[in-house]
Chains A and B, each alone.
Chain A
C-alpha cells in the first residue's frame, strides 16, 4: 500500500496526497473487517516491514550489507523483557534501553569494521560472525529470577499480566497490537522519508554508488557509514520489543539468528532496495504468501520453505530491482484518474490501490 505522509494540509487538494491519506484510513479501518488470523498476518507484515525498512537504511541507502540487524532486534527484545522481569520496568522504557545498547553495538562494530576498510562482502561476512558470536553469548547467559535461572538456551517467557495494560505493553486481543505496529511503521516511514531527503540521505547514496568518489568530494565516508549503521540500529530496536510483547516468548534461536537478517534482506530486496516503500511492498508480498503457503502445505515440514526458496531465486533472477516499480506505476495511474479535490466535494469510489 503506497502511503505518503503529506506535509501540509493545503497539499491535500492534490490527488497525490489525499489518495495517500485515504490509503492510511483504509489501513486503519481494515482490521475491523478481518478475522483474527488475517489481522495476525497483517501484524507480521508490519513487523517485517519495520525490520526491512531499518535494514534498508544501512543496506539500501548506504549500501553496506549488514547482518547485524538481527542482533539489534534480539538485544532489544532481551533488554525490554529482562528489565520487565527483573525490575518490573515498563517494556516501553526497556525499548529505549535496548535501542541504546543496539546503537552502542552499531557504533562499536561499525567503527571496527569500517575503520579497517571492510567493504561489500567482507563487511557482510564479518557482521554475520559478530551476530553468531552474540547469539552464542545469549545461549550461555542465564539470569537468576526468584531462585530460578531464566534465559540461556531455554529462552524467556514474558510474564503475562491480567487484562489489557498499555504500560505493560500487553493486550488480550490483537487489535491494539495492530495499531501499535501500524503506528511504528508509519513513524519509520516518515523518518526514512526525512532521511532520504536530507543531507544524510545524499551522503549515504553517494557512499553506496561510489565510495571513493564520495570520499574525494569531501564526504567523511567512515563517519556517515557509522551514522547510517546507528540509525538502522535505533530503528530496528522497537520491533524487538514489539516481537517480545506480541509473542511473549523469546529465545536466541528465534530473535538472534542470522536467518532473521536474511529475512530482512529478502523482504527489502523483493520490494526494492534503497527505496522508501520497497520494504513495505516486500513484506506485503512475502509475508502473506508464506503464511498461506504454510497454512495450505503445513502437513509436512519443509515444503513451505522449499517454495519460498524457489520464489526467492526466481525473484532474484527475474526482478533484481524488486517490485516497487509496479506499485509506483499503479499508484500514479490511480492518482491520474482522481480529480483535484475541492473542499466540500464528495467522492463515491474509493480505490484500494493494491
Chain B
C-alpha cells in the first residue's frame, strides 16, 4: 500500500513538474533573447487565471475554451509592456530592465487586489478522476500536464524548425549580426516577450482548473520557476523541462515525507547541490 501511495505522489510530481516546465520555459524565452528576467511572470499567470475564472463564472465558458483568449491577452499585455518600457531601457545598466518588471509586478498584483479583493476563488470545474489500478489521477491535472508538455514541445519545434524561431535565436546569439542579416531585432524582442508571457498565460489557464485563484497566486509558482531556470541553464528549453520535472518531484516528495512547509527549503538544498556539481546548470548554459 505504501508503494502505491508513493507512486501516486510521484505521478502528482510529474504532473506538477510539467506545469512548472512551461512557466520556466516562458521565462527562458524572454531571458534567452533579451537577458531580462521577467519578475512579473507570475502575475501573468494570475491574470490568465482570473480571465479564465470570469469567463467561466459570467459566461459559463469552460476554462479549456478560454485557452484561446487568456494567453492572447497575456501576449498583448506583454508586447505593450515591451514596446513602452523594456525597449527603451535595453541599453541601460544590467538591473534596470529587471527593475522595471518589479514595477509591473507590484502594479498588476495590486490592481488584482483592488479589483477583486483577496478572496480565494475557484472555477470549481470537475472533470472527475481516472483510476489506473490503485492510483487515481485528477483529470484537470492530467489535462494540464499534457497541455503544458505539448506547449513546451511546440516551443521547441518553433525555435528549432521555423524561420521565425531561427530569427529569434539568431537575435539572441548576436544581435548586430542578426540585424545585418535583415532580422528586425525590435520586432523579435516584441515577439519574444509576447511568447514568454503567453506561456505564463497558457499555464495560468490550466492551473485555474485545479488551483485557487487569488491576487498573489503568481508567487506560489514563480519562485520554483526561477529555481528551475537556473537549474536547467538559463535560456534553455530542454533544461526548463528537465528542471521542471525534477523540481516537481522534489516538491511533492518532500511535502509527502517531510512536510509541505519544508518543500521550498528542500528544493533549495537540491538546487545548491546541483550547483556544486554542475555550476552551469543541468544541461549547461549557452553563455
Residues of chain A lying within 8 A (CB to CB) of residue B107: 305-306, 309-310, 312-313
Residues of chain A lying within 8 A (CB to CB) of residue B164: none
Are B95 and A313 interface neighbours, CB within 8 A? no
Indicate with 1 or 0, residue by residue over B261-277, a CB within 8 angstroms of chain A CB atoms.
Answer: 11011011101100110
With contacts A116-B276, A301-B114, A302-B114 taken as known, whether A262 is within 8 angstroms of B102 at the C-beta atoms is yes
Cross-chain contact of A125 among B110, B229, B261 (Cβ < 8 A): B229
Residues of chain B lying within 8 A (CB to CB) of residue A317: 84-85, 88-89, 100
Are A122 and B234 interface neighbours, CB within 8 A? yes
Instruction: Check if A133 is an interface residue, CB within 8 A of chain B.
Output: yes
Cross-chain contact of B279 among A116, A121, A304, A315 (Cβ < 8 A): A116
Instruction: Check if A303 is an interface residue, CB within 8 A of chain B.
Output: yes
Q: Which of A227-273 contact B (CB under 8 A)?
A: 262, 265-266, 269, 273
Instruction: Check if A199 is an interface residue, CB within 8 A of chain B.
Output: no
Residues of chain B lying within 8 A (CB to CB) of residue A136: 261-262, 264-265
**In whole Å, how far is B219's beta carbon from the nearest beta carbon of chain A?**
9
Name A258's closest neighbour in chain B (CB-CB).
Answer: B223
CA distance A132 to B268 in the complex (A): 9
Q: Which of B166-217 contact A (CB under 8 A)?
A: 215
Are B95 and A125 interface neighbours, CB within 8 A? no
With contacts A302-B114, A308-B106 taken as known, whether A132 is within 8 angstroms of B99 at the C-beta atoms is no
Name A120's closest neighbour in chain B (CB-CB).
Answer: B94
**In whole Å, how far is A133's beta carbon from the nearest beta carbon of chain B?**
4
Give the total of B residues in contact with A, Cβ under 8 Å.
Answer: 51
Are B106 and A320 interface neighbours, CB within 8 A? no
Residues of chain A lying within 8 A (CB to CB) of residue B269: 133
Are A139 and B261 interface neighbours, CB within 8 A? yes
Instruction: Check if B103 is an interface residue, CB within 8 A of chain A.
Output: yes
Cross-chain contact of B268 among A122, A133, A313 (Cβ < 8 A): A133
Are B113 and A301 interface neighbours, CB within 8 A? yes
For the residues of A in contact with B, the DSSP-based class is helix
Residues of chain B lying within 8 A (CB to CB) of residue A330: none
Residues of chain A lying within 8 A (CB to CB) of residue B113: 301-302, 305
Are B94 and A63 interface neighbours, CB within 8 A? yes
Cross-chain contact of B103 among A125, A137, A312, A320 (Cβ < 8 A): A312
Are B261 and A124 interface neighbours, CB within 8 A? no
* Residue among B106, B109, B261 with most chain A CB within 10 A: B106
With contacts A112-B272, A129-B223, A317-B89 taken as known, whether A305 is within 8 angstroms of B106 at the C-beta atoms is yes
Are A273 and B95 interface neighbours, CB within 8 A? yes
Instruction: Check if B31 is an interface residue, CB within 8 A of chain A.
Output: yes
With contacts A120-B94, A136-B261 taken as known, whether A125 is within 8 angstroms of B114 at the C-beta atoms is no
CA distance A317 to B261 in the complex (A): 39
Cross-chain contact of A313 among B103, B261, B275 (Cβ < 8 A): B103
CA distance A118 to B107 in the complex (A): 30
Residues of chain B lying within 8 A (CB to CB) of residue A302: 110-115, 215
Q: Which of B239-281 contact A (CB under 8 A)?
A: 261-262, 264-265, 267-269, 271-272, 275-276, 279-280
Contacts beyond the supplied A65-B95, A262-B102: 17 A-B pairs with Cβ under 8 Å: A65-B98, A121-B37, A122-B234, A125-B226, A128-B226, A129-B268, A265-B95, A265-B99, A301-B118, A302-B215, A305-B107, A305-B113, A306-B107, A309-B109, A310-B103, A313-B104, A316-B99
